[in-house]
Amino acid sequence: MSLVRLDIKGISYSQTQSGAYALVLSEVDGTRTLPIVIGAFEAQSIAIALEKEIKPPRPLTHDLFKSFADRFNIIIKQVIIHKLVDGVFYSSLICERDGIEEIIDTRTSDAIALATRFDAPIFTYENILDKAGVYLKLKDDTEEEDKENIDLGDLIPETVEESSYSSETIENLYEQLENAVANEDYELAARIRDEINKRNKK
């Protein structure tokens, strides 16, 4: 069976399962997407790994795994989503240490969270995409979204009312951003960061 490479396209709040999120993986050389329901903690962990500006003051579980692996020279070479049973995706981490390759069974959400930290490619099999893939409607370039636009703001349900920061100075916003990160309030940090980005684009 041939492997198909996937990229992270987005994370959104699940409209069908309370407290869950939908991780959307897209086919690199195609138009199919693979939506996977994951928990809130894993969604936040993946979003933080994709972020370049927000750094947790203390390591998350997946950050700890990365530090542990780095200390003992363990490399995650790739992630393979290899099985789909009753709506549950099964994945493997392909790891290497001292030239010896090992395969470790893992939850798909954890595998993706680690792949983002190790810059490891994500793959699945053609038959899984055939069974669970969704065809993506092609959009204009101006509407196309990529993983660089995915951030913690995507993890905030649409029902959350964002505060207005129009009266705040840019210096105050940066100070509030630092405080939010220090307090591990990543949703607030994302909203403040988005306001800062809007102002910097003007």
Residues 6-28: pLDDT tens digits?
999 888 876 656 677 888 899 99
Whether residue 37 is contained in a domain is answered as yes
Give the span between the Cα atoms of 101 and 91, in whole angstroms.
Answer: 16
Residue 94 has pLDDT above 60, yes or no: yes
Residue 97 has pLDDT above 90, yes or no: yes
pLDDT at 18: 67
The predicted model scores a pTM of 0.69
Q: Are residues 82 and 180 in the same domain?
A: no
Give the span between the Cα atoms of 163 and 165, in whole angstroms.
Answer: 6
3-state secondary structure string, 124-189? EEHHHHHHHCEECCCCCCCCCCCHHHCCHHHHCCCCCCCCCCCCCCHHHHHHHHHHHHHCCCHHHH
Higher confidence at residue 117 or residue 133?
A: 117
Domain containing 67: what range?
A: 3-135
Whether residue 56 is contained in a domain is answered as yes
Number of domains within the chain: 2
In this structure, which amino acid lies at residue 177?
Answer: L
Residue 4 has pLDDT above 80, yes or no: yes
Residue 126 has pLDDT above 80, yes or no: yes
Q: Are residues 85 and 177 in the same domain?
A: no
- Supply the DSSP symbol for 53: S
Identify the residue whose tokens are 């995409």.
129
Across 70-79, average pLDDT = 96
Contact (CB, 8 A) for 22 and 11: yes
Higher confidence at residue 139 or residue 159?
A: 139
Q: Are residues 112 and 175 in the same domain?
A: no
Higher confidence at residue 28 or residue 135?
A: 28
Cα atoms found within 13 Å of the Cα of residue 132, Cβ hemisphere only: 19
pLDDT at 139: 46
Q: Are residues 130 and 174 in the same domain?
A: no
